[in-house]
Amino acid sequence: MRICVLILGWILLGLAASGCQKPVTSATLAAQEKKYPELRKNYVYQSLIRLANVKHDPNFEKLIRDVNKIILYLPPDGDSTYQISGLQQGLQKEGYETLIEVRTAEAQRISLWSKESGKQTHYIALIDAPKEDIILEVDGQINIQYLTSIQLADQSSLKNLLEGGF
């Protein structure tokens, strides 16, 4: 019995060591959290993101296949002065690159940033909107070649996910 426990311990330790990669972190996001300690964080897991794929588009599934969760950084309650406009400069200084930058009909500016670190790529999206600014951090990998499939997803479902409900 004791040998089985010892062997199981070594196996678990080996699996943990082989699967542990240091997650990419952003000093800019850490500074933002320090500046705004009341910043609200919501976690949206892959299972919820899949619900926005009402058309069952296989490319959308491929897009999010390696995403564990998305961390939403929402403005502090009742703080109308919260802004993310300075984050872009910080991300650039850290070595992040802009993958996409768009302006929507509702005057939102959305940008997707990435930084490669070894075999991992870290993604951060910034949504600069007239009403409230939001930061999205991807825990996992986006299969970027399928990014256009997001257009086929149910946009109202995606918006509701970002607002914290479904």
**Can you give the residue ranges of every domain in the chain?**
23-162
% pLDDT > 70, the chain: 76
Which residues are 71's β-sheet partners? 43, 137
Within a 13 Å sphere around the CA of 28, how many CA atoms are in the beta-carbon half?
21
Contact assessment for residue 63 and residue 143, using Cβ atoms and an 8 Å cutoff: yes
Rg (CA), the chain: 18
Size (the chain), residues: 166
Domain 23-162 has CATH 3.30.310: yes
Tell me if the pTM is above 0.75.
yes
What is the rounded distance in angstroms from the CA atom of residue 99 to the CA atom of residue 14?
36
Q: What is the pLDDT of residues 78-107, one digit of tens each?
A: 877 788 878 999 999 999 999 988 887 777
